[in-house]
Structure 1
Amino acid sequence: MKAWSIGIVGLAGLVAVIAGAYSAPEALLAVACLTALGIGIGWPHFLGIPAKKTLAALIGLPGVGSAIAATYLPAPGFLDWTPSFIAAGVMAIFVMQLVRGTGQAQRLESTLGSCAGVMLSCLGAGWIAGSRFNGVREMVLVAGVSAAIALLAGLIRWPDRVVAPLGIIGAGLAGPLAGLVFSDIAVLPAALVGVAVGSVLVSFRRLVVLRGEALNFPAALGMGLAPVSAIGSLAYFIDKLLIY
């Protein structure tokens, strides 16, 4: 698959997240769980590491647990269990590598890359926390619009030195515009969310460029959903720090 397919997957994930946020809580929970499982399945393929099926479970299941906890924990501790799920996933990765034994291929890369995948999987619970925070969903929409602009910029087949500033600036401008049109969120928090989201997404684009190899569908799925998951928690904490 072409590298641009990652951006399409990311855009589809964003649409699902925003639609879930404006639907029933169970709908957003389902989206978050499917996103976590998608990262679990695809991340080992993107990294090109062995034991893909086992790692898919160890990466995806902590994200599912984190999403369920964020849905049902009382306010304001929506993400109180998320660090525990990340820790459990990381420990499971280390145990799995010990079981594989010494001398196995790509053991270090598999351990470090899988631990990063666990964190990305669990951070998707931030979308649920942002949706539940004060009962206001507008920041989810602002973050989603900013991310969509950054992803669209990433589809342009120009060098990173052009696309990266374009994506960050575009997301930084789209955030306040979405805030003014769809909500009463102040310009500064919306702009900060846009710039932060854009920076994260163009950084993930750089990872794809550095990989420089053709992607299969699971790899595109994992890499497309991973940044979408990560910016959920990012938007939530910016919302909590600057607006609450």
Structure 2
Amino acid sequence: MKSWSIGVIGLAGLATIIASVYRTPDVLLAVAIVVALAVGIGWPHYLGIPAKKTLAAVIGLPGVGSAVAAACVAAPGYLDWTPGFIALGVSAVFLVQLIRGTGQAQRLESILGCCVGVLLSCLGAGWIAGARFNGVKEMLLVAGVSAAVALLAGLIRWPDRIIAPLGIALAGLAGPLAGLVFSDIAVLPAAVFGVVVGAVLVSFRRLVTLRGTTLNFPAALGMGLAPVSAVGSLAYFIDKLLIS
């Protein structure tokens, strides 16, 4: 698949998450579970490592557990279980590599890359935590607008040295504008959030361009949804630290 298709997948996933935020909690949980499983399935394909099915389960299931915990635990510890699921997933990654035995191909790449995949899968629970936190959902809408602008900038087929600052700047401007239009969020926190989200998303674009080769659909799916998953926890913590 072409590199621009990854941005389209990210935009579709982001739109689905934001729409589900304004539906029932069960709908948001179902979407978060699907995103975690999609990241789990696609990430090993992006890395191009062996044992893809096993590692897909190791990456995706902790994300599912983290999402379920974020939806069920009592306030305010929405993400209290997330570090535990991350640790469980990382431990499972090491266990899989031990079972594979010595001398197997790409063991180091599998360990490092899959640990990152576990983290990204589990961070998707932040969307649920953000929706439950104070019952105010406007911050997630601001997050969605900033992320969408950064993803749209990434679709432009210009060099990374141009797209990176452009995406960060546009996301930084979109955050305050969305805050003024859709909520009463202060300009500075919204701008900080937009810049952080833009930096994260353009970094993932760089990972795609560094890959060099054409990606299959599972790889594009995982790579498109992984940064969207991470944005959820960014929105939650920025809301908690800077706004509320």
State the TM bucket, normalised to the shorter chain. over 0.9
Partner letter of residue 38 of structure 1?
A: A
Matched with 1:218 is 218
Matched with 2:75 is 75
TM-aligned CA deviation for residue 161 of structure 1? 1.0
Matched with 1:105 is 105
SS at 1:79's partner residue? coil
In the alignment, is residue 138 of structure 1 matched against residue 138 of structure 2? yes
Looking at structure 1, the residues matched to 88 and 154 of structure 2 have their Cα atoms a distance apart, in angstroms, of 34
Looking at structure 1, the residues matched to 16 and 69 of structure 2 have their Cα atoms a distance apart, in angstroms, of 20
Matched with 1:95 is 95
Looking at structure 2, the residues matched to 92 and 220 of structure 1 have their Cα atoms a distance apart, in angstroms, of 24
TM-aligned CA deviation for residue 3 of structure 1? 0.4
CA deviations over 1:181-205 (Å, ceiling 9, x no partner)? 0111111111111000000000000
Partner letter of residue 62 of structure 1?
A: P
Looking at structure 2, the residues matched to 81 and 220 of structure 1 have their Cα atoms a distance apart, in angstroms, of 29
In the alignment, is residue 227 of structure 1 matched against residue 227 of structure 2? yes
* Equivalence map 1:54-65=2 (5 Å): 54-65=54-65
TM-aligned CA deviation for residue 27 of structure 1? 0.7
After superposition, the CA RMSD in angstroms is 0.5
* Equivalence map 1:1-244=2 (5 Å): 1-244=1-244
Percent of residue pairs identical: 78
TM-aligned CA deviation for residue 137 of structure 1? 0.3
Unaligned runs of 5+ in 1: none
Looking at structure 2, the residues matched to 73 and 151 of structure 1 have their Cα atoms a distance apart, in angstroms, of 32
SS at 1:103's partner residue? coil
Looking at structure 2, the residues matched to 228 and 35 of structure 1 have their Cα atoms a distance apart, in angstroms, of 9
TM-aligned CA deviation for residue 140 of structure 1? 0.4
Q: Moved runs in structure 1, 4+ residues, more than 2 A?
A: none
Structure 1 length-normalised TM: 0.99
TM-aligned CA deviation for residue 159 of structure 1? 0.6
Partner letter of residue 54 of structure 1?
A: T
Structure 2 length-normalised TM: 0.99
TM-aligned CA deviation for residue 169 of structure 1? 0.6
The alignment covers a number of residue pairs equal to 244
